[in-house]
Structure 1
Amino acid sequence: MTTTNQTRYVLVWRKTRLEELVGRFNTWPQAQFYLEHNQADPSDYLAEHDLYRQRVQEIEQVLKARGRFQSLSRQYLPSFQFGPDDVVVVIGQDGLVANTLKYLDGQPVIAINPDPQRWDGILLPFETKDLDSVISTVSKGQSTVNEITFAQARTNDGQTLLAINDLFIGPKSHTSARYSLTWDGQTEQQSSSGIIVSTGFGSTGWFASVLAGAVGVMKETGTQNHPLQGGFDWSAQKLQFAVREPFPSRTSSTSLVFGEVSLNKPLSLESMMPENGVIFSDGVENDYLLFNSGCRVTIGLAEKRGRLVMG
């Protein structure tokens, strides 16, 4: 990618915990009283806020000197129109980076860790002091970029949902889901607490916890390792699905509970639930598709891919 003086630099930021509390309690003194009443240390909130806002200002200075600049709060991501030549800078945490990637279409993302002493920053390879040199590397087309495979759910009525980490298909509350599952040329009816479909990017998250539970059970038989325990590559052209707590009965089976989803091997599900069936992505439960009786969904690889600058 070659940037010019027409390149727009978009800085994506989030509200701090302090700002969220002030929004909830109207003023900082009221928020401070709430924290102290609950034996929380207000000084930690202040220190985090002050450093984060300082880092935002430092990044703004670098980007404004480079050319066209746009500051974007996380809350406006769903409605913002990114341009094909935008360079996107995200000032962490990790969750904000993942969330931003879902709304892009190939634009490079430079992720900044505002406070390495506070955040591990698995997806935050850079600090503020690195930004100018990283942008120069990106502008010369010499940067190292990790491509990220997305998952996509598409229903029979044309609705779609993207996931950078994982998709959940199942019950809205803690009840059993009933559905028909088709994969690899086989179909069976199942009853479970839902299905997780993970990308490589999300394979060390929710999917890893499901796998850890299964491996823990298998230790009783001497099987203690699984090749996916450490996750799999972000760019891998595959997904992995796992059925949570499958229940065997006269009307439900448990032979198709774990497998790989690829371009030639999609996962299909048909709901047998009259109500409370949902599909949501990346743990965001309030943004979902309904998965009730009559709904059929196909899970596969999305055409869109993320691009995270790593060096």
Structure 2
Amino acid sequence: MEAWDRAAWEQLTIEEKQTAMQELVERLPAGFKWLRLERFERYGQSIETGVFMYDGSEYLYVPGDTVTLGRAEVHPHAPMSPLREAVITPMLVQRQPISAGWYEYAVEGLDPEEDEDILEAIEEFRQGPHTSYEYSQYFRLERDGEQIVLFLFDDSESFGDWCEAELPAGFALPTEDEWEYLYSAGARTLFPWGDEIDASIRLRHVSGSDETGNSGPYPLELPNAFGLLFPGDPYKKELVVTPDGITGKGGDGGCNLHGGQGAILGYLPTATAFRDPYESELDWPDLMDCLVYRRIVRL
């Protein structure tokens, strides 16, 4: 299979794309299954690409490209990655990010003695009116109809320890260059959708925007032009690799929103090139608390 760049990929016929995707399975880590071709469209861009399945998660084929990333302007409230050119190689990308710090755990698996405090909290929660409850960096409870869903906090002490458990052979995390390309789908605007935040749309955590009665996904959480899903939530950050280590992209842990700066500044951290200036103040558990991640397979 050739390493298709985006322009060449889009010139292929449906039959050629199907053949390329079926041949690709032979080069992937064991367990991948080819499903179908699917067309995605968002913010004036579209692509027809391959959909795969691995361990219960969908992965999408994203062709490579030579792109311009970053922002030239500097703003005190919004430090950005520098303006640069980058060559992005083709990859398979996990469609939906998952929490880096929290994982679902069966209530039935709790030990009556060792986990007595969690079991007591579950019973109290069951009888109460709340829809969620969290004991910081220990456990979280969510109400799903009549069921109570338990999440436990990951106990890894470092990024290296976490990687050993979460990244099987052949998988990687995106670099900052790759993430900005995947998030923007190549758009050169401040955000994937344009240069401004539309405060009239439904936004998480913004008073008057997320009123009772609204349902369905938030607009910023819908699939982008590559078919990928992103939190669209400043409280969440996506884990990426940098030359100096790791960072979180797509948010600031809710710092601006929590500080009462409103929708415009509160959602500025969802800009493609945004870099959180205060992230270095967090240790691994604190950073992991707000992190999501997705695996990729470089081709």
What TM-score do the two structures reach when normalised by structure 2? 0.25
What TM-score do the two structures reach when normalised by structure 1? 0.25
Question: Which protein is bigger by CA-based radius of gyration?
Answer: 1
